[in-house]
């Protein structure tokens, strides 16, 4: 991506309004469209009639401006610089020159987030949605950190185009945004679009929408989300890194053998569900964390730990290629629906839908579901007797193991 669009004579073009002066004061410079012979030749060959018409129109406008009989010759020359005549000349110039580069939205992956994400704290508002948005915000900004400084930064504001000298770029938060910013990384062939959404409240930070646009975002998302974990547990929901107190090799030999089978199945299957059961203190939860930390995280899986509130409100993010979902105490969540207590919530149905993939794959929207998304379920329970029989049906649970050794 060249810099042929950038002019160095910005002092000749003074901003006419206070916001534009603010952009210039913040380091932005007017972006001038330059003549391109190849583009003009393309117009001559493919749009001859329209080019001829517009050329004759602008010649006629200039002739009218210069040929007024009631004014002196010098007044007619000044008339060329009137808003009316300049508008016609600018329109013709925009037609015969190529537009500044912008993203191609067709057949591209996009990842978008409105930032800064705000948490609404109330008795009735459990911040699960906030944490998922916060996770997406972290992902976007980690990708921007990986990309580092772009090759091109432009902004469109009130039909005017500006550019920002990339050598002066420090951070996206410090970049003055009043319209729509476009940034481009040539080596990755990736665009960033930043839309100004206005002030959230008086004295607060302005809200912006960050959108990454590329033919292939998967590899960058995988790098940005490496070793990230999300706990969806009501008011305790948060984003961080997974902590495992015990290593796999510290478990009994039979559990280590079972772990080897789990690891092989992870390599062989796109979707895998594992259920381990046993009385409290046998290390079931510790084992799921060890498997996630030592096996799944190195393979690029993002870990989601769900409790009763998380199970009811979670749908796997479609921009992630590899997801691990940990559900502890599944016998308290996916209870037998023939019991009265299980009929008071839809947690059982939601877990079954997650295992089947029917809930979030039933409708494909314009965000495009990851067709190759791999999901691993790690579930624990004290007893399988309270589980809904549909949970244990063949095809839902792939591997099971009973933990008998008093690990804790």
What pLDDT digit, counting tens, does each position of 50-102 carry? 989 989 988 888 888 888 878 888 887 887 778 778 788 878 888 888 877 88
pLDDT digits (tens, 9 = 90+) for 137-152: 999 999 999 999 999 9
Residue of 352, 350, 342, 353 lying closest to 386 (CA atoms): 342
Q: Is residue 21 part of a domain?
A: no
The b-or-e profile of 71-101 (16+ CB within 10 A means b, else e) is: eeeeebeebeeeeebeebeeebeeebbbebe
- The pLDDT, as a whole number, for residue 8 is 40
Token pair, residue 261, equals 């089978």
- The pLDDT, as a whole number, for residue 113 is 94
Neighbours of 397 (CB within 10 A): 18
Q: How many residues does the chain have?
A: 408
Mean pLDDT over each residue of the chain, to the nearest integer:
83
Out of 53, 71, 96, pick the residue that ends a domain. Answer: 96
- The pLDDT, as a whole number, for residue 5 is 42
Task: Taking residues 168-178, report their average pLDDT.
Answer: 91
- The pLDDT, as a whole number, for residue 354 is 81
* Same-domain status, 275 and 314: yes
| DSSP letter assigned to residue 31 | P
Task: Taking residues 298-324, report their average pLDDT.
Answer: 88
Contact in structure between 213 and 106 (CB atoms under 8 Å): no
Task: Taking residues 346-367, report their average pLDDT.
Answer: 68
C-alpha–C-alpha distance, residues 408 and 406, integer Å: 6
- The pLDDT, as a whole number, for residue 338 is 60
The b-or-e profile of 370-384 (16+ CB within 10 A means b, else e) is: beebbbbbbbbbbeb
* Same-domain status, 259 and 392: yes
Compare 16 and 101 and report the one with higher pLDDT.
101
* Same-domain status, 85 and 150: no
* Same-domain status, 313 and 368: yes
pTM of the model: 0.80
Domain that holds residue 393: 225-402
* Same-domain status, 384 and 264: yes
C-alpha–C-alpha distance, residues 228 and 230, integer Å: 7
* Same-domain status, 212 and 325: no
Angle between helices 48-66 and 37-46 (to 10 degrees): 110
């Amino acid at each position: 991506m060249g810099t042929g669009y950038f002019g160095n004579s910005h002092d000749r073009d003074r901003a006419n309004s206070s916001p534009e002066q603010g952009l210039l004061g913040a380091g932005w410079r007017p972006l001038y469209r330059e003549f391109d012979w190849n583009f003009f030749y393309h117009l001559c060959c493919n749009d001859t009639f329209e080019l001829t018409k517009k050329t004759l129109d602008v010649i006629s406008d200039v002739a009218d401006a210069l040929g007024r009989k009631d004014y002196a010759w010098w007044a007619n020359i000044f008339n060329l610089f009137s808003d009316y005549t300049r508008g016609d000349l600018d329109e013709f110039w925009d037609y015969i020159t190529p537009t500044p580069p912008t993203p191609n939205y067709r057949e591209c992956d996009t990842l978008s987030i409105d930032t800064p994400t705000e948490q609404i704290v109330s008795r009735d508002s459990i911040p699960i949605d906030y944490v998922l948005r916060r996770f997406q915000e972290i992902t976007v900004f980690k990708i921007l950190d990986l990309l580092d400084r772009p090759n091109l930064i432009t902004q469109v504001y009130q039909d005017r185009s500006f550019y920002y000298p990339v050598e002066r770029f420090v951070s996206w938060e410090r970049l003055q945004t009043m319209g729509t910013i476009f940034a481009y990384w040539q080596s990755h062939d990736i665009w960033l679009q930043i839309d100004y959404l206005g002030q959230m409240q008086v004295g607060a930070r302005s809200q912006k929408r960050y959108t990454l646009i590329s033919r292939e975002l998967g590899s960058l998302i995988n790098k940005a989300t490496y070793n990230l974990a999300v706990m969806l547990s009501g008011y305790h929901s948060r984003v961080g890194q997974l902590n495992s107190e015990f290593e796999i090799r510290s478990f009994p030999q039979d559990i280590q053998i079972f772990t080897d089978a789990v690891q092989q199945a992870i390599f062989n299957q796109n979707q895998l569900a594992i259920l381990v059961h046993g009385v409290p203190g046998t290390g079931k939860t510790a084992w799921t964390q060890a498997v996630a930390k030592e096996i799944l995280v190195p393979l690029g899986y993002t870990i989601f730990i769900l409790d009763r509130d998380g199970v009811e409100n979670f749908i796997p993010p479609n921009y992630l290629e590899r997801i691990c979902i940990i559900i502890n105490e599944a016998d308290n969540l996916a209870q037998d629906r023939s019991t009265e207590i299980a009929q008071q919530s839809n947690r059982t149905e939601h877990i079954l839908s997650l295992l089947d993939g029917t809930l979030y794959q039933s409708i494909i929207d314009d965000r495009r579901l990851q067709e190759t998304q791999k999901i691993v379920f790690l579930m624990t329970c004290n007893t399988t007797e309270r589980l809904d029989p549909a949970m244990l049906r063949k095809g839902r649970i792939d591997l099971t193991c009973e933990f008998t050794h008093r690990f804790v």
